[in-house]
Amino acid sequence: MVRNSCWSFIARRGEAEEVFDEERDSPGVVPLQLVPEPEAQLLRTDQAKRIQEEVAALRPEFREAFVLREVEGMSYKEIADVTGAPIGTVMSRLSRARRELQARLGGEARKAGGS
């Protein structure tokens, strides 16, 4: 759940490759389906902010493991190499970080992740 929320947030702020379409991409032309509804956009923004705040509130070693895995996409071994911690410790820190985030975010993580 938290993973989906984070990936959704990252996907929204990332840049997608698109092919230029003269009619669609001309100045002043914005397809209606690309214009988010104000309430939905506000809700997504609030959820993303809350997730960022809760990740920032994790203990440093939990936050480090979580960000390296879920945001940077590193493997357990890569995280272990970077942090100098055994793989088992990395796995434990990730598990505890996810559990804490799920407890703190409650239903918000499920809504933001779509599950």
- Is 90 exceeded by the pLDDT of residue 29? no
Token pair 């938290």 is found at 2
What is the pLDDT, as a whole number, of residue 9?
59
> In 3D, which of 39, 34, 2 has the Cα closest to residue 18?
34
What is the pLDDT, as a whole number, of residue 55?
94
CA angle 43–48–49, rounded 5-degree value: 100
Banded model confidence at residue 115, pLDDT cuts 50, 70, 90:
very low
Contact in structure between 47 and 112 (CB atoms under 8 Å): yes
List domains and CATH numbers for the chain.
2-7+37-113 (1.10.10.10)
CA distance 34 to 11: 15
Report which DSSP code applies to 14: S
Interval 40-92: pLDDT, tens? 777 778 888 999 999 999 999 999 999 999 999 999 999 999 999 999 999 99
pTM, two decimals, is 0.58
What is the pLDDT, as a whole number, of residue 112?
47
Helices (H), the chain: 2-13, 22-25, 38-56, 60-66, 76-83, 87-105, 107-113
Contact in structure between 2 and 95 (CB atoms under 8 Å): no
